[in-house]
Amino acid sequence: MISSIIGIALDCKDADALADFYAQLLGLEKTISSGSWAGIHTPQGIILAFQKVEEYVPPVWPWERGEQQQMAHLDFKVDDLEKAVAHAIGCGATKADTQYYDTSTVMIDPQGHPFCLSTVV
């Protein structure tokens, strides 16, 4: 029987660089670094891991027929959306051109993965 989620892994071009981005974004430390794998441990005990894929192609947001699709995206709970967006941009993220809700903002990490900052769960 499966008892819990222990980790989430994202493909990317540079595992260490993406781990550094998310460590800075979340105020955590990179705890795994092996060249082709890197990761951080969240306070909840989940490993956010990144694996190097030589032929990595960033997804397109929003989805477009015939273009690289996202396989997953991360959602983060924030108290102050405006401050969280500014912090994410300061860490190297960009704000997606397309937005759908007033209570969340879609951001793009430095290697093209969309993630959401949200004031609601």
User: In the chain, how many H helices and how many E strands?
Assistant: 2, 8
Could you give the C-alpha distances from 94 to 1, 18, 42, in angstroms and in order? 40, 14, 23
CATH number of 7-56+68-118, picked from 3.40.50.150, 3.10.180.10, 3.40.1260.10, 3.30.70.3450: 3.10.180.10
Instruction: Give alpha helix (H) positions in the chain.
Output: 15-26, 81-91
**Tens digit of each residue's pLDDT (9 = 90 or more) over 82-93:** 999 999 999 999
Confidence of residue 107 (pLDDT cuts 50, 70, 90): very high
What is the chain's mean pLDDT, rounded? 95
Residue-level pLDDT at 27: 98
- pLDDT digit string (tens) for 44-71? 999 999 999 999 999 999 988 999 988 8
CA angle, residues 17, 22, 28, in degrees to nearest 5: 115
Q: What is the mean pLDDT of residues 102-109?
A: 97
- DSSP character at residue 92: T
Q: What would the two tokens of residue 32 be? A: 């795994």
pLDDT tens digits, one per residue of 7-36: 999 999 999 999 999 999 999 999 999 989
Residue 111 carries which DSSP code? T
pTM for the complete prediction?
0.91
